[in-house]
Amino acid sequence: MANVIRRQTPAAKLWRGVLYAVLVIAALFYVLPLVVMLMTSIKPLSEISAGTLLSLPQNPTLAPWTKAWGEACTGMRCEGVGGYFWNSFAIVIPAVLISTAVGALNGYALTKWRFKGSELVFALMLFGCFIPFQVVLLPMAQTLGWLGLSSSRAGLILVHVVFGIAFTTLFFRNFYVGIPNELVSAAKLDGAGFFRIFWRILLPVSAPIIVVSVIWQFTQIWNDFLFGVAFSAHDTQPVTVALNNLVNTSTGVREYNVDMAAAMIAALPTLVVYVLAGKYFVRGLTAGSVKG
Amino acid sequence: MRIPLPVFKKSALALALAAGTALASTAQANEVEVLHWWTSGGEARAANVLKELLEAEGYGWQDFAVAGGGGETAMTVLKSRAMSGNPPSAAQIKGPEIQEWGELGLLGDLNEVADAEGWNDLLPEIVADIMRYDGQYVAVPANVHRVNWLWANPDVLEAAGVEMPTTLDELFAAGEAIREAGFVPLAHGGQSWQDATVFESVVLGSQGTEFYQQALVELDPEALGGEQMVAALEDFKRLRELMDEGMPGRDWNIATAMVIEGVAGFQLMGDWAKGEFTAAGLTAGEDYLCAAAPGTEDAFTFNIDSLAMFRVTDDAEREAQHTLARLVLEPTFQEAFNLAKGSIPARPDLDMSEFDSCAQQSMADFQSTADEGGLVPSMAHGMAVRADVQGAIFDVVTNYFNDADMPAEEAAQRLVSAAEAASF
Amino acid sequence: MSETPTRTALRPTASGRLQAWLPRLVLAPSVAVSLFFVYGFMLWTFVLSLTSSRMLPSYDFVGFGQYARLMANERWWVASTNLMIFGTLFIVICLVLGALLAMLLDQKIRQEGALRTVYLYPMALSFIVTGVVWKWLLNPQLGIQAMVRSWGFESFEFDWIVDPDMAVYTLVIAAVWQASGFVMALFLAGLRGIDDSIIKAAQLDGASLPRIYWRVVMPCLRPVVFSAVMILAHIAIKSFDLVVALTGGGPGYATDLPATFMYTHAFNRAQIGLGSASAMLMLGGVLAILIPYLYSELRSRKHG
């Protein structure tokens, strides 16, 4: 679309100016909350209660950040949210890897090895996207109990994998649909089997959609609170639970600057992922995943 | 060299047994896993006293904190854990909910501790009833919050030329004067639990303790739908005129901050508000005033945080639980915890000299109302009625409060339906 | 090259049959998982909606009594209406805004990468964080209204969040802020995937740029709209954290949604029976809208 012929008349230049203006105003809309969060997180508490949200910090300080990282109370432990990062990674990384792998194989099987009813199977699996987690909380708790996985890290990973498969399958299926079937048919005729074709032909070109799937799953699982709080034990709580304990104390004194700093710290991994990999994200989506 | 088989077998067996018991004791370390929501700095430090006391006796504390909603999220997690078959050893459960858990047969028996420590004599009857299920103690109280407090900024009162009101009419009059002087009369946060907190204090102050008991504790439909309730509701709605526009959705501690900073004159809130005043470095009686909510001097609306113990099979764990229960009601923890939290100890025999004037008054009122009547459970804080009824009442109250057009009679009728329809 | 067709034709061996079954075997675990964890749980929820369960599930059946109670519950109707309003506005505005931004960004902009990151990053945040920040921004005393007034516009009003009639639209604002960047990314990818020759041909025919976009580009983007709607719909239905963090369901219960209604009743009010009934109705309503859409989209596209 960007290669179309353009004419640079004065009218066109004016439109160009308007274009940039609109984009910048939109950018302000998106950036404003982040700016507010940052500013609040470096103000001392006295300034927050005295001024409005959007007033500039008079005496900026990084104390809220150090407190949020290492000293704030999240229960009896007053060690900040930093320590919980390990718990979150221990849950997120396996869950992302497993759900992506399963989604890839599913998408491959659904599109390159069609059988009667494969579309129906896909549609049935897709409904897994729409279940609100509150609805499945209790039955899942009971199931985990039966499996002997209650309050364990493995149980929580299982939960995230189960509810992530619908999405990863959707992404990979839409992507593989755009890959010509001739490649696969030729390989089949050559005698290559199911896994060989996947490994040799499809996986090498799947990098873009793998990125999409990983980013999506990483964000969803990292930011999850409900499953994280219900299915973790006292020593496996993810960072979202720690953040909640920090921010939502019921009858204690609230330190909004520390809260904002902690929220930003908790959001850093996903933010970093989006900022660094955003380009690959769009590239991944471009490479056929949205064409149907 | 050949070892005779029987000897070999015996030593092997002995070794295996020794190894087995060693494994068993580390796997079932005498620890308690405690679910709670004491997560703010002050609360955590205070509760830490309990943890240290427990560890000093040789037991371990596994901390399982879940903040949010005055315990709502923690209760959700508790239910999920119960469903999966492994509830924690102890949990911060309060009020009638203790009875619901008891009904499920999940709570453990603390009578051993209760008898040894004399809880029956120590605790007021009404408090002990809440801690017992089917005659057995299943929970231990950590503190007693008083909900029907009125907090005030003396400078604002002076500027407006008013005194602390003792009746609702005086509150309205004082509010007018404060508004004339350019301040917000009553600081409030428009969240359903705060609306309900003010509502129950108004019912208490407007119509008296007996009516409160009939309507909001016993849910008598005639009381709920009758003229007295209509009058109370109208008083409640009038309070809205004393509040500022930005009230909806505001957090309770921001409303307290309005009083601290001299933007507002009064706040109707429970004694945890004192924590905010203390954190701001203010002294009770001088920099801020406390009094019973207007019209409620002879009433004490209580909200008790308690730890309930779950039934466990492991003896060492049970020992740890019993020790924990004992330690909770012992003076060391009671004093440290309540000094930090702003509430008063659950044991009336504690020396209150370390506590500030508001707490001392609170304790005196607690004892007198326990003896003479007027000690009532807080409906708004889950002490009086079941959660579903409480929720339905919240809906009616908050909706009525936010709806300019709804007449009090209609709200009263809705209260009646709320109390009925909620149960199945 | 010429030998291979005959080789395959002569070999319906065991390994050949295994290969035929392998796709199904690979899919089987996921299907089983779906059947159990999605449909099984939905069935269990349905069963519970026929009981009088309170704090924990019990199997004391009361027919459709919970549904009757639900129909008579005013808060449920408020929540359902809110979902309609919120869902529709959220999806439509995200689609429009996302498409618009994508088209604008596609015009060979300098700093496209930076702008794209700015539009996209909100998706990285959890809804809790979004709700908290927007709650502050929309607070009349502390946020945007206060700021604009401090600039001199004394009568500026933006207190939707405390107004029971307007509060649901604040949900829309915060949710659109979070998700529209993602929709933009989807549309941008879609636009980049369109064959230039079609566009050039249309331009050579003399069509203006807006007309080209409307007549030529939009129809090509139909699959993108499908993906976007699926994702937006799932966000709208699952919107729980946002409501809790932004308005707490208030003022009163003016911003309640079915997901928060279900949670409040099932967990906070020990009314699992009623909560399950509300969950069934919520899911039923969603499926009633989505199934026709899914059907039409999956059918209308022939995949090779």
- The CATH number covering residue C178 comes to 1.10.3720.10
> Cis omega (within 30 of 0) on the bond before C251?
yes
Given CB atoms, is C72 within the 8 Å cutoff of chain B? yes
C175 and C239 Cβ atoms separated by less than 8 Å? yes
pLDDT score, position C257: 93
B250: closest CA of chain C, how far (Å): 9
Using CB atoms, which chains have 3+ pairs under 8 A with C? A, B
| Cα distance between residue A86 and residue A79, in whole Å | 14
- Mean pLDDT along residues A195-214: 87
Average pLDDT over every residue of C222-238: 85
Q: Look up residue B261 and give its amino acid.
A: E
| Residues of B whose CB is below 8 A from C66 | 424
User: Are residues B292 and B373 located together in one domain of the fold?
Assistant: yes
Does residue C62 form part of some domain?
A: no
Where residue A5 falls among pLDDT bands split at 50, 70, 90? low
Does B385 lie in the same domain as B284? yes
Query: Domains plus CATH for chain A?
Result: 10-61 (no CATH), 84-289 (1.10.3720.10)
Flag whether B21 is in a domain.
no
Number of domains in chain C: 1
Cβ neighbours of residue B382 closer than 8 Å, sequence gap 6 or more: B94, B95, B96, B97, B303, B390
Q: Of all residues in chain B, what percent carry a pLDDT higher than 70? A: 92
CA distance B369 to chain A (A): 25
**Structural domain total, chain B:** 2
B71, B108: one domain: yes
pTM of the full structure: 0.85
B151 within domain boundaries: yes
Question: pLDDT class for A170, splitting at 50, 70, 90?
Answer: confident
- Containing structural domain, residue B105: 31-145+304-361
- Domain presence at residue C242: yes
| Residue matched to tokens 């405390």 | C162
Give the span between the Cα atoms of C27 and A106, in whole angstroms.
6
Per CB-CB distance under 8 Å, the chain A contacts of B86 are: 145, 150-151
B147 pLDDT more than 70: yes
Q: Check residue B230 and give its pLDDT.
A: 95
Question: Which structural domain range is residue C182 located in?
Answer: 75-300
**Which segment of B25-39, B106-120, B384-398, C132-146 scores lowest on mean pLDDT?**
B25-39
- A101: phi > 0 → left, psi -120 to 50 → alpha, else beta; which? alpha
**Average of pLDDT values for C248-267?**
88
**Start-to-end C-alpha separation, chain B:** 78
Residues B246 and B389 placed together within one structural domain of the fold: yes
**CB contact set of B151 (below 8 Å; sequence gap of 6+):** B256, B259, B266, B267, B268, B269, B273, B274, B277, B288, B289, B290
pLDDT exceeding 70 applies to what percent of chain A?
A: 92
DSSP assignment of B156-223, as one string?
Answer: HHHHHT----SSHHHHHHHHHHHHHTTSEEEE--BSHHHHHHHHHHHHHHHH-HHHHIIIIIS--HHH
Q: For B171-216, what is each residue's pLDDT tens digit?
A: 999 999 999 999 999 999 888 899 999 999 999 999 999 999 999 9
Q: Which of chain A's residues have a Cβ under 8 Å away from the Cβ of B84?
A: 141-142, 144-145, 150-151
Identify all chain A residues contacting B36, using CB atoms and an 8 Å cutoff: 75
Instruction: Identify the closest residue of chain A to C264 by CA–CA distance.
Output: A134
CA angle B349, B352, B357 (to 5 degrees): 135
Average confidence (pLDDT) over A173-192: 83
Q: Is the pLDDT of residue B238 over 50?
A: yes
CB-CB: which of B104, B395, B422 is closest to C253? B395
- On chain B, the residues whose CB falls within 8 A of the CB of A152 are none
- Angstrom distance (rounded) from CA B313 to CA A288: 58
pLDDT at B24 over 50: no
C57: which chain B residues are within 8 Å (Cβ-Cβ)?
Answer: 83
Are B140 and B159 within one domain?
Answer: no
What pLDDT shows up at residue A290?
A: 44
**Residue A287: per-residue pLDDT:** 62
Strand partners, B291: B150
Q: Is the model's pLDDT at B28 over the cut of 70?
A: no
Nearest 5°: the CA angle B259, B262, B267 is 20
Interval C133-161: pLDDT, tens: 898 888 887 788 888 888 888 888 888 88
CB pairs under 8 A between B and C: 98
> Taking CA atoms, what residue in A is nearest to C231?
A129
Q: Is B288 helix (H, G, I), strand (E, B) or coil?
A: strand
Task: Assess: ipTM above 0.85.
Answer: no
Inspect the interface and report whether the beta carbons of B39 and A229 lie closer than 8 Å.
no
The answer on B343 and B265 residing in a single domain is no
Q: Report the pLDDT value the prediction gives residue B360, as an integer from 0 to 100.
A: 93
Q: pLDDT > 90: what percent of chain A?
A: 25
What is the residue-averaged pLDDT of chain C?
A: 84
pLDDT at A4: 52
The Cα–Cα gap between C67 and C63 comes to 9
More confident residue, C155 or B146: B146
Cβ-in-10-Å burial (0-12, 13-18, 19+) of A75 comes to buried
At what angle are helices A133-147 and C41-48 packed, to 10 degrees? 110
As a whole number, mean pLDDT of residues B229-234 equals: 94
* Residue of chain A minimizing CA distance to C179: A30
Task: Choose one of B361, B384, B410: the last residue of a domain.
Answer: B361
Residues B341-345, mean pLDDT to the nearest whole number: 88
For chain C, the first-to-last Cα distance in angstroms comes to 24
Higher pLDDT: A253 or C266? It is C266
Residues with Cβ within 8 Å of C241's Cβ and at least 6 positions away in sequence, in order, are: A225, C126, C127, C128, C131
Measure the CA–CA gap between C19 and B16, rounded to whole angstroms: 51
Query: Which of residues B209 and B4 earns the better pLDDT score?
Result: B209
- Report whether A228 contacts A18 (CB < 8 A): no
- Concatenating the DSSP letter of every residue in A98-154 gives HHHHHHHHHHHHHHHS--TTHHHHHHHHHGGGG--HHHHHHHHHHHHHHHT-TTSHH
Q: Considering only alpha carbons, which residue of chain B is nearest residue C75?
A: B395
If one compares B48 and B70, the residue with the highest pLDDT of the two is B48
Q: Which residue of C has its CA nearest to A290?
A: C224
At residue C173's C-alpha, the angle toward residues C169 and C176, to 5°, is 125
Judge whether B299 and B374 are in contact, CB under 8 Å: yes
- Lowest mean per-residue pLDDT among A245-259, A269-283, B253-267, C92-106: A245-259
pLDDT at position B257 is 87
Q: Is residue C91 part of a domain?
A: yes
